[in-house]
Amino acid sequence: MPAVVIENVHKRFGDNEVLKGVSLSVEAGQVVAIIGRSGSGKSTLLRCINGLEMCQSGRIEVAGHVLDQDPKHLRELRKDVGIVFQSYNLFPHLTVGENIMLAPRLAKGLGTAEIRKLAVEVLAKVGLSEKFDAYPDNLSGGQQQRVAIARSLAMQPKVMLFDEVTSALDPELTGEVLVVMEDLAKAGMTMLLVTHEMNFAKNVADVTVFMHQGKIWEMGTSAELFAAPKTPELRNFLSAGVH
């Protein structure tokens, strides 16, 4: 069974229809990159998957949870679906360790010793073991984003969503975040990522989806899609070089 099933999803903000019937299926362990211009609906699609935005029609099923409005169902879904944001969104008043341990304690009710072990583990995974007691403000953007990834991982999600996670970073800091994501992909995590990093999509994603005007315009294996784009819109997008 696929890890993510999106069927004919429509989403409007007022009169503006942002998603015009999107269907997509992601197998467990697959890495799917979503590319496209600003305003093509790619971030909205991602945010619909964990219920941060509610779509008006269509059906979304993630990690065995069917998305609906019930807060309790949403929490169950979100325990299995992590998301990392463009602006990191770490909690500024908590240390790195506390940021990571908060949700496993509150949402999953795990014991203190277990949570601490988990936090140390995920922090090691993103290469920031020594920052356990630091405050987010004392970290670089790249480090903050790696902590955000660790915080998400501590919930032991089945699916991870990445919403333009390197867009706020300098080029040299982008690399360290992409390395962490590549490791995750290799470890078999199911990942959906909205990205402007074409090389990352080409080299790491199994499938790349090109969104245009609220629709999936073109999709295929990353190798095919980048080597031989079929639609003029994608050719334009790829050759423009400005993403």
- Alpha-carbon distance 157 to 175, whole Å? 23
Instruction: Judge whether 161 and 155 are in contact, CB under 8 Å.
Output: no
DSSP 168-232: TS-HHHHHHHHHHHHHHHHTT-EEEEE-S-HHHHHHH-SEEEEEETTEEEEEEEHHHHHHS--SH
One character per residue 200-239, x = contact with other proteins (rule: CB under 8 A): ----------------------------------------
Among positions 1, 15, 38, 92, the unique one binding other proteins when judged by CB under 8 A: 92
Within 8 A by CB and 6+ apart from 60, the residues are 4, 5, 6, 7, 9, 48, 49, 66, 67
- 44 vs 50, beta carbon nearer other proteins: 50
Instruction: For strands 16-26 and 4-13, give the pairing.
Output: antiparallel
- 71 vs 232, beta carbon nearer other proteins: 71
Q: Count residues contacting other proteins (CB under 8 A)?
A: 34
One character per residue 54-73, x = contact with other proteins (rule: CB under 8 A): -----------------x--
75 contacts other proteins (rule: CB under 8 A): yes
One character per residue 166-195, x = contact with other proteins (rule: CB under 8 A): -xx---------------------------
Binding site residues, other proteins, CB under 8 A: 50, 52, 71, 74-76, 78-79, 82-83, 85-93, 102-103, 106-108, 135-138, 141, 151-152, 155, 167-168
